[in-house]
């Protein structure tokens, strides 16, 4: 599947809404600015608890995509599912700078969820977000 790209071949957003969950203020601000520049509407939360509250809304205002290394959003309970079963309709991208942590690496490998290692650049973030949205 082809997607629109900018002049530098960076894939652009299609006005999708994204929830960015990041506890580091500086990383959150930079990531939000990059996502905005790519054409995404970005909702931000500093932590998983706040994000889960927002996700519990009847009609969340976004498609959850970007999340640090926690599995909370991807594994939140849904009607008719066991509490720990994945919610496949959620598009999730894990971001972490802790690539030496074997627990995190194993969780990412086991989940088959796209992973973005920090630090990252604009193009890498753009490609990983498109990959998560398009389930590639």
The answer to whether 40 touches 18, Cβ cutoff 8 Å, is: yes
Strands in 4-102 per DSSP E = 17-21, 41-45, 63-67, 93-96
Q: Report pLDDT digits (tens) over 30-60.
A: 999 999 999 999 989 888 888 888 777 656 6
Q: Which CATH number fits domain 17-133: 3.40.50.2300, 2.60.200.20, 3.40.50.300, 3.10.310.10?
A: 3.40.50.2300
For residue range 79-128, list pLDDT tens digits in order.
333 333 345 567 888 888 877 888 777 877 787 778 898 999 999 999 99
């Amino acid at each position: 599947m082809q997607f629109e790209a900018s002049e530098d071949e960076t894939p652009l957003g299609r006005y999708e809404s994204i929830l960015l969950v990041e506890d580091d203020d500086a990383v959150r601000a930079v990531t939000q600015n990059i996502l905005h520049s790519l054409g995404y509407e970005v909702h931000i939360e500093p932590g998983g608890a706040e994000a889960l509250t927002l996700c519990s809304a009847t009609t969340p205002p976004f498609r959850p995509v970007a999340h640090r290394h926690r599995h909370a959003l991807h594994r939140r309970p849904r009607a008719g599912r066991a509490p720990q079963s994945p919610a496949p309709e959620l598009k999730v991208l894990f971001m972490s700078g802790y690539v030496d942590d074997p627990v995190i690496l194993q969780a990412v490998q086991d989940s088959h969820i796209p992973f973005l290692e920090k630090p990252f650049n604009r193009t890498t973030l753009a490609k990983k977000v498109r990959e998560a949205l398009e389930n590639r």
